Amino acid sequence: MFCWIFAANLNGDMPATPRVCDEIISVISDSLQGENHTCIIIHGEIGVGKTRLAEQLAAALIGRGIKTGGVLSPRILDGNETIGYTIHDLSTGEEQPFVRLTPPGIPIGKFYLLEDGLAFARAAIERATRATQVVFVDEVGRLECDGKGHALVVRKLLRSQALPVLLVRSAFVERVVETFGIARYELLPVESGLPDCSLEEGRP
């Protein structure tokens, strides 16, 4: 098992510093040059800024000419309350409703996952797996560990030549790594605080 650990601290809506993105992108670029790509796992608690950091990384990668795709799931807020999520295709810029507070859909806690949104996400991940160098998946969690949600396309992604960037809640990191047999990965914990990034070798 191989693992590197980063630490990215975000403060509210403050973007990550250029040094944070540059250091992470440097590791992604190095991995793209190697024979065996490393899986990047961005993890943290709900609402801490995983998707926001992933948006910044994806934009920076695209700006450097690295073909980037996959999906991100930004929250829909009513004040400070999360009332749903959309699904955003990084390759095309298209968006679809993904999670809502009311039926229909697959129940997940207090939310309902829309079947059309899930199909849209799966198709976007599959296209990106075939056509891009870096593929984001937001997020991989309980559903995927149970063989549902994005599970099938995540397995295809992990077997492909693309570099996966998976967004995972911290409580599910170990289970995701074990369930999908991820041998080489890099952990990026996202926490509240001042933007910073440090790199050290370690094991989860």
106 vs 103: CA distance, rounded Å: 8
Q: What is the rounded distance in angstroms from the CA atom of residue 98 to the CA atom of residue 105?
A: 9
- Partnered with residue 184 across adjacent β-strands are 2
The C-alpha atoms of residue 193 and residue 45 are separated, in whole angstroms, by 14
- Confidence tier at 26 by pLDDT (50, 70, 90): confident
Query: Per the domain annotation, does 88 fall within a domain?
Result: no
pLDDT tens per residue, range 43-61: 999 888 899 999 999 999 9
Domain count, the chain: 1
Structural domain includes residue 59? yes
- Position 137, amino acid: V
176, part of any domain: yes
What is the extent of the structural domain holding 182? 2-74+133-198
Q: Does residue 15 sit within a domain?
A: yes
Cβ–Cβ under 8 Å, residues 72 and 134: no
Q: How many CB atoms neighbour CB 9 within 10 A?
A: 20
Q: Is residue 204 part of a domain?
A: no
* Residue 193 included in any domain: yes
Residue 69's CATH number? 3.40.50
pLDDT digit string, tens, across residues 161-175: 999 999 999 999 999
Cis amide linkage into residue 139, ω under 30° from 0: yes
pLDDT value of position 19: 66
Whether pLDDT at 142 is above 70? yes
Predicted pLDDT at 17: 52
* pTM of the predicted model over 0.75: yes
